[in-house]
Structure 1
Amino acid sequence: MFVKSSKELYGWDRFSKVTLLLGIFLIVARSWILASTLIIYSIWRSRSTNMSGRNNEKFVYENIERNFHYKIKNFRQSFKQNIKNFKIKIKKYKPLEQLKEKRNYMITYCPKCRQKLRVPKRKGKIIVTCSKCSSEFRLRT
């Protein structure tokens, strides 16, 4: 019944330590039944002689942990990308600058090539030269 050497025992692995720490945390959170169950289970796992069963449990735990970390990593990356996209949208949309531009400049189009042109306001009759097709036309601002 008693084990003679510690080589026959499974020992403390990561899963046993996590269940023990979770049990201690649940004691602090006043969940006595679940906490004591987890603590007893972690001690039983560490003192077990069934190595293959404990290795299978550890393998399942490591897969769950790996998937959890992978999902957190993907969530962080997508969150950072969303924040980056949001900042780009904020930089593109600047209502105060657009309002200042609308006060000081008039937007017109070239009659030949329909290029959008920006001309200063309150200059009277001016001759505008298109930057694309170099055609000249008169405009009152």
Structure 2
Amino acid sequence: MKEKIIRFMQGRYGVDQLSKFLLIVGLVVVLVSAFLGNNPIALILYLIGWIFVIYCYFRVFSRNVSKRYSENQTFLAKTYGIRNFFQKQKNIWQQRKVYHIYTCPSCKQKIRIPKGKGKIEVRCPKCGTTFIKKS
């Protein structure tokens, strides 16, 4: 069975970030429409959600690889700022166990200080300002 699926997908585009995004948004919109009950807005949302899901699968099974790749690159370029913000927040959250992250009072540069060193004098690498913080 696995070989049949591999043979079927040969030459097709497959799953990428835009397809994942379309699938998640489509399913969320369908679920939201289910909670809204029986009214025209819920029906419209339901249809829009299924259009997203269908377009997602169209992209996955498409044989026009260059066109799908171009669409994905455009999506990634337009969402770079949002994805970069969340990646930075995730990185800061992971470092919280080992480091304190302070902001320089004069230039607002973020400075990472190891935890457990007591009261230390911190020198900003960007502007040279020194300030005392507890690590």
Q: TM-score if structure 2 supplies the norm length?
A: 0.48
